[in-house]
Amino acid sequence: MARTPFFLSKRLVRFAVLVVIFLFIIMNLGSQTKKVDDIKNTGDLNKASGTGTDNVDGVDKIAVLKTVASAASVMAESQKNNAQAPIVAGTSPEIVQPKPELTQKEKADAVEASINRMNPSDTVSFINQFQGVKGTRPKACFVTLVRNSELHGLVDSIRLVEKRFNAQFKYDWIFLNDEPFTLEFKDTIQREVSSTVKFGLIPTEHWSYPDYIDQTKAAKAREAMAHIIYGTSESYRHMCRYQSGFFWRHPLLDDYDWYWRVEPDIKLYCDINYDVFQWMQDHDKVYGFTITIHEYVDTIKTLWKTSMDFFTENPNYLAKNNLMKFLSDDNGKTYNLCHFWSNFEIANLNLWRSPAYKAYFDYLDHSGGFFYERWGDAPVHSIAAALILPQDKLHYFSDIGYHHVPYDNCPLDPVVYKNNNCDCDQGNDFTFQNYACGKEYFEAAGLQKPPGWEKYRD
């Protein structure tokens, strides 16, 4: 019987297959370790996903997070197993697969925990992962939470935003509602907006009581707050909690990095002849506002204490050079009630998506103050933005003439006022009035107040 030549023998084929499998495993382990190393050393999600930071425009953040999820779970798992010994990149025995029974929530928590460990204090680095290239058009939209019944007030707002800004810049506009929008609402809006319009229904789990809230206690708290504006309103509380912790989680927002919040019945008093989103991006800003104001103390009795408890437990989230001086006159002991009025915001969504803000919101939410008191999204956003960002990331749009009942931001600079065709009363500008916090902001941020600002105090 003829012998099979050695190069055709089954043994050789088996041997060759084994060699190929072995090489494949070695190469795979190497690249996994490199990804973990990249994330750990730089906190750079783009690098980890194999996408250069220059190519951010094409990055699907959800995909990026999913890509790092397994590597991050590996890190989290490894660190849990050996709290004393930090992970050393390149040591393959540390690489273990995540347990298959991990839920989505546990995986997301592991990602966050890992990101925190990578770069514990630096929310700006987190935001920069997604930053567009300077000089290019940002991924930005308007966002409006609104009820069907507010259609007419909303049309008034849209007409002014279109006339003063969006007819030129054409950014998408997203409308969100806890109830389905009516056909009439959608048709009317579509006729008014010059750019792409999207309508979103809020998921029930973002607009309802979490299981850790005692609803009987919440109902009693509402009754006891009849003397406070919106004190007895249940929907107002859901709204404030939604604006604080959820609007940026709506899937329609996933495609964007920037938003401009617009409410019904607001006014824009001046032309805006430049792309404000691109200006924010190109100047490395994160949070922009027009009006500052003091909060009603009765609505937020325990907000400051709860916030300080959070930052005491998580000091790594406090930015160096933060704006504590805007919020507190005694270095954090007490709250002076100053905040940015959040009915207008031009800001980076990744601030709210950051581990620091998510942890802060979660902490507040579990304490129950959105329901047992009447915490507004304005002080919540403001305390976070002022403390987890360095102060040079915030921007006061002194040139945007803006009105939300009953206050105005009317540009005081005569050149801005004239060149931008403003039609407001400068004598009515709220910025430096006593009930506003313009003085506190300018002083905390080290900005020079405009000449004659004192005459607005009374």
Ligand X SMILES: Nc1nc2c(ncn2[C@@H]2O[C@H](COP(=O)(O)OP(=O)(O)OP(=O)(O)O)[C@@H](O)[C@H]2O)c(=O)[nH]1
First to last CA, the chain: 112
Closest distance between ligand X and the C-beta of residue 387, in Å?
Answer: 22
Distance of CA 144 to CAs 105, 251, 266, Å? 28, 14, 12
Quick check: 156 binds Mg ion (CB under 5 A)? no
Quick check: 263 binds ligand X (CB under 6 A)? yes
Quick check: 150 binds Mg ion (CB under 5 A)? no
**Residues 211-250: x where in contact with Mg ion by CB under 5 A, - otherwise, as a string:** ----------------------------------------
- Taking the least distance from each CB to ligand X, the nearer of 264 and 411 is 264
Amino acid at site 33: T
- Taking the least distance from each CB to Mg ion, the nearer of 109 and 150 is 150
- Taking the least distance from each CB to Mg ion, the nearer of 175 and 311 is 175
**Residues 221-240: x where in contact with ligand X by CB under 6 A, - otherwise, as a string:** --------------x---x-
- Taking the least distance from each CB to ligand X, the nearer of 25 and 229 is 229
**Residue list 19-48, contact with ligand X (CB under 6 A):** none
Handedness of CA 248, 65, 138, 172 (dihedral sign): negative
Catalytic residue list = 345
Contacting range for Mg ion; rule: CB under 5 A; set: 56-64, 263-271, 283-291, 436-444: 263-271
Quick check: 284 binds Mg ion (CB under 5 A)? no
**Residues 337-376: x where in contact with ligand X by CB under 6 A, - otherwise, as a string:** ------x---------------------------------
Closest distance between ligand X and the C-beta of residue 447, in Å?
Answer: 26
Closest distance between Mg ion and the C-beta of residue 343, in Å?
Answer: 5
**Residue list 116-155, contact with ligand X (CB under 6 A):** 145-147, 150
Nearest 5°: phi and psi at 395? -140, 130
Distance of CA 163 to CAs 171, 269, 280, 313, Å? 13, 10, 21, 47
The residue among 384, 383, 386, 412 whose CA lies nearest residue 400 is: 412
**Residue list 326-345, contact with Mg ion (CB under 5 A):** 343
Closest distance between Mg ion and the C-beta of residue 155, in Å?
Answer: 16
Quick check: 263 binds Mg ion (CB under 5 A)? yes
The residue among 322, 299, 338 whose CA lies nearest residue 433 is: 338
- Taking the least distance from each CB to ligand X, the nearer of 172 and 345 is 345
Quick check: 178 binds ligand X (CB under 6 A)? yes
- Taking the least distance from each CB to ligand X, the nearer of 117 and 381 is 381
Q: Which does 226 bind (CB under 5 to 8 A by kind): ligand X, Mg ion, none?
A: none
The CA R_g of the chain, rounded to the nearest whole Å, is: 26
Residue 249 tokens, joined: 């989680």
Q: Which does 147 bind (CB under 5 to 8 A by kind): Mg ion, ligand X, none?
A: ligand X
Answer for which of 128, 129, 157, 177 binds ligand X (CB under 6 A) is 177
- By CB under 5 A, name the binding residues for Mg ion: 263, 343
- By CB under 6 A, name the binding residues for ligand X: 145-147, 150, 177-178, 235, 239, 263-264, 343, 405
